[in-house]
Structure 1
Amino acid sequence: MQAPGLIRFPIIVGAFFALTAVMAGAFGAHGLRNLVSERSLEVFQTAVTYQMYHGIALVLVTLLSGLGLSRRLLGFSAGFFLVGILLFSGSLYTLVLTDIHWVGPITPLGGLCFMIGWALLLVAGACLSVNRNRG
């Protein structure tokens, strides 16, 4: 059995990121509309969208652990989703809300983390079907 803290962490973090994505989306739609350019609003919305998708993915990873998928792979997947949110969405929020432009090159690293997280989830799923066919 997996330790309760390891099960709770991705749920709590995923729910937190989903909640704050909703809040950021509302802020972007209402608070930023007259303060930043249309392009900046699009960038902000991209950050919100990816934060929401991957917040939900963190919760999903926890649910999948109950289906027999490799908890190690799922844990790494969750870690990459978490880092991806921080790097990808965080850098985009920073670009829109501040004059700090050196964070721009960080965004693709966050995207790479998302891709690695999904690839690990793919491998965990593929390993499940192989292991079930052997059993």
Structure 2
Amino acid sequence: MSIAISALNLAFAVILGAFGAHGLKMRATTEQLSWWHTATEYFFWHALGLLMLSIMARVLPQLPFKASFICLQLGIFIFCGSLYLMALGAPRILGAITPIGGTFMIAGWLLLAWNAFKYEQSLL
């Protein structure tokens, strides 16, 4: 299931990237296009991260990946989603929640590091 979710994230990242490059180009300001670009870039990288976690979960089933996966997915939704909405004309105040999404992304990676560290220590 998580590989499917990862693949859907990657497909949406491509769709949204293409829309930004072709559909918004004539209608959006430079700032809005910058927000769109940032959202799409983070979307791609973190969707690839989700795919990586999904594959790693099959190779190392003893490591807990679920919390990291959930944090990254929430981060994508909040961070990228808020930037996409602002780029489409939503009020700039929405940018106040963007760092919450970034915090979820950071937490996802830190949880992965923590769980990997604990696992590696248990092998010693």
Percent same amino acid at aligned positions?
31
Q: How many matched pairs? A: 123
Q: CA RMSD in A?
A: 1.3
Q: Match for residue 60 of structure 2?
A: 67
Superposed displacement of residue 68, structure 1: 4.4
Per-residue CA shift, 1:23-54, capped at 9, x if unaligned? 11111111111111122111101101111111
Q: Match for residue 43 of structure 2?
A: 51
User: For the Cα contact (< 8 Å) 1:14–1:54, is it kept in 2?
Assistant: no
2:63 aligned partner, one-letter code: S
Q: How does 1:51-130 map to 2 (within 5 A)?
A: 51-65=43-57, 66-71=59-64, 74-130=65-121
1:35 aligns with one of 11, 27, 33 = 27
Superposed displacement of residue 109, structure 1: 0.1
Q: Unpaired segments of 5 or more residues in structure 2?
A: none
**Distance (Å, rounded) in 1 between the aligned partners of 2:95 and 2:48:** 25
Per-residue CA shift, 1:84-112, capped at 9, x if unaligned? 01100000000011233332111000000
User: For the Cα contact (< 8 Å) 1:69–1:127, is it kept in 2?
Assistant: no
- SS of the counterpart of 1:102? helix
Question: In the alignment, does 2:5 pair up with 1:13?
Answer: yes
Q: Unpaired segments of 5 or more residues in structure 1?
A: 1-7
